[in-house]
């Protein structure tokens, strides 16, 4: 099959590199390039790709193409679709690989249509088997894994993050071929005037975090003294998230309490729900607290490699083969201790840096 593979990326928001997932796509593109004896082209989109192109200069691509300029600084359908189309046409690749960033998820189906090609999203793996390309993706809430083959070319594939090893290499100076794209007036009608986003420490869903911290309904239940301690629970959890950088998940029972107008943790929404009717996040480690470990919840832990849980109940679901380690303990006490240790660690690091300075 493929004589030529294009690895397509846009620069990161900071503008100095590519989003983390792009390096994972590049790793996959290089693997396939080798397996299929194909040629690799890298395509970049952004206001200025000088720094970002340097990070992939030594990846071994035959060509590095770019569409640059102020019109291509921010995510914007009309400009991104035109830039991606121009790069795809110039590269003439049969296979186009791109990261499943929100910016690309919005535009690449449109690009496939313009190129008379086809597109697949949410792909987790791509392999060459006997010279034939096979893409894998999950359906039906991660219960069925499908293997997809396509005859149509170009085939655009958006790869999910966290599933493939990233390419790493020394920064260099890349030889970039600029492709001129002049946008028609009709493509400039929408102007991005700024971005309003929650403060980064208010943003509790962090797909790139090493740890998934899950809070269950137990945090809001009556404790040993016969009373709930919601304020204390909120402080303990938020302090832990801040100090550890973990991503926050919740059980259905906990996130549903908002709708039932009970007192709940203010920062927990349905977007945090992990499970059968929730999300299936991907993190190397997971820590569950005050959550029973029922099957419909644990379904969402499928891609968490190392699982630990804290529960008062030695017969909870986690003890029945759902976790690697269960701490039978009071999560309020465990988290208070963990936060103290994390504060101590950051103080030690601070002192070490101060001494080194």
Ligand X SMILES: Cc1cc2nc3c(=O)[nH]c(=O)nc-3n(C[C@H](O)[C@H](O)[C@H](O)COP(=O)(O)OP(=O)(O)OC[C@H]3O[C@@H](n4cnc5c(N)ncnc54)[C@H](O)[C@@H]3O)c2cc1C
For ligand X, the binding residues (CB under 6 A) are 216-218, 221, 223, 251-254, 273, 275-278, 290-292, 294, 296-297, 300, 310-313, 316, 330-332
Looking at the Cβ atoms of 49 and 316, the one nearer to ligand X is 316
Q: How far apart are CA 277 and CA 252, in angstroms?
A: 8
Q: How far is the CB of 145 from ligand X (least distance, A)?
A: 19
Looking at the Cβ atoms of 55 and 288, the one nearer to ligand X is 288
Looking at the Cβ atoms of 6 and 290, the one nearer to ligand X is 290
Looking at the Cβ atoms of 103 and 297, the one nearer to ligand X is 297
Q: How far is the CB of 14 from ligand X (least distance, A)?
A: 34
Looking at the Cβ atoms of 66 and 215, the one nearer to ligand X is 215
Q: How far is the CB of 318 from ligand X (least distance, A)?
A: 9
Phi, psi of 173 (to 5 degrees): -105, 120
Q: Is 153 helix (H, G, I), strand (E, B) or coil?
A: coil
Instruction: Count CB atoms within 10 A of the CB of residue 235.
Output: 14
Q: How far apart are CA 111 and CA 62, in angstroms?
A: 23
Looking at the Cβ atoms of 118 and 336, the one nearer to ligand X is 336
Sign of CA dihedral 90, 95, 101, 102: positive
Q: How far is the CB of 283 from ligand X (least distance, A)?
A: 16
Provide the strand spans (E) within the chain: 4-10, 39-46, 63-68, 95-99, 118-129, 132-139, 144-148, 155-159, 176-178, 211-215, 247-250, 283-289, 304-311, 325-328
Tokens for 197? 């986003």
- Read off the DSSP letter of residue 187: G
Q: How far apart are CA 97 and CA 92, in angstroms?
A: 13
Q: How far is the CB of 338 from ligand X (least distance, A)?
A: 13
Q: How far is the CB of 224 from ligand X (least distance, A)?
A: 8
**DSSP code per residue over 198-243:** --TTT----TT-SEEEEE-GGGGS--TTSS--HHHHHHHHHHHHHH
Tokens for 280? 């299936």
Q: In what order do the strands lie in the sheet with 325-328?
A: 247-250, 211-215, 283-289, 304-311, 325-328
Half-sphere exposure of 179 (CA within 13 A, CB side): 23
Q: How far is the CB of 242 from ligand X (least distance, A)?
A: 21
Q: How far is the CB of 259 from ligand X (least distance, A)?
A: 14
Q: How far is the CB of 305 from ligand X (least distance, A)?
A: 19
Instruction: Count CB atoms within 10 A of the CB of residue 34.
Output: 12
Q: Is 33 helix (H, G, I), strand (E, B) or coil?
A: helix
Looking at the Cβ atoms of 109 and 299, the one nearer to ligand X is 299
Looking at the Cβ atoms of 173 and 340, the one nearer to ligand X is 340
Looking at the Cβ atoms of 10 and 252, the one nearer to ligand X is 252
Looking at the Cβ atoms of 128 and 310, the one nearer to ligand X is 310
Q: How far is the CB of 50 from ligand X (least distance, A)?
A: 45
């Amino acid at each position: 099959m493929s004589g030529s593979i294009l690895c397509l990326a846009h620069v990161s928001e900071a503008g100095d590199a590519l989003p983390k997932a792009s390096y994972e796509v590049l790793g996959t593109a290089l693997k396939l390039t080798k397996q299929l004896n194909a040629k690799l082209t890298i395509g970049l989109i952004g206001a200025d790709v000088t720094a970002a192109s340097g990070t992939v200069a030594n990846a071994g691509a035959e060509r590095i193409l770019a569409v640059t300029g102020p019109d291509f600084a921010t995510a914007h359908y009309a400009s991104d679709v035109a830039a991606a189309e121009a790069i795809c046409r110039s590269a003439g690749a049969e296979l186009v690989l791109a990261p499943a960033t929100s910016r690309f998820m919005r535009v690449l189906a449109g690009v496939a249509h313009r190129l008379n090609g086809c597109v697949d999203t949410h792909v987790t793996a791509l392999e060459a088997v006997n010279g034939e390309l096979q893409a894998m993706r999950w359906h039906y809430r991660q219960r069925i894994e499908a293997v997809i083959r396509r005859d149509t070319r170009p085939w655009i594939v958006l790869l999910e993050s966290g599933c493939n090893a990233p390419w790493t290499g020394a920064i260099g100076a890349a030889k970039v071929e600029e492709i001129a794209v002049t946008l028609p007036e009709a493509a400039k009608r929408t102007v991005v005037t700024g971005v309003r986003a929650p403060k980064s420490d208010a943003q509790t869903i962090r797909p790139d975090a090493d740890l998934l911290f899950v809070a269950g309904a137990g945090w809001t239940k009556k404790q040993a003294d016969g009373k709930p301690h919601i304020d204390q629970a909120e402080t303990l959890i938020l302090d832990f998230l801040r100090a550890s950088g973990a991503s926050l998940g919740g059980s259905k029972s906990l996130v549903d309490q908002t709708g039932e107008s009970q007192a709940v943790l203010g920062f927990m929404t349905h977007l945090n729900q992990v499970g059968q009717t929730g999300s299936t996040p991907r993190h190397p480690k997971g820590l569950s607290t005050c959550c029973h470990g029922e099957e419909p919840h644990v379904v969402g832990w499928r891609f968490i490699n190392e699982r630990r849980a804290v529960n008062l109940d030695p017969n909870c679901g986690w003890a029945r083969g759902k976790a690697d380690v269960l701490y039978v303990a009071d999560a309020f006490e465990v988290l208070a201790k963990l936060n103290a240790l994390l504060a101590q660690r950051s103080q030690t690091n601070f002192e070490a840096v101060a001494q080194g300075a």
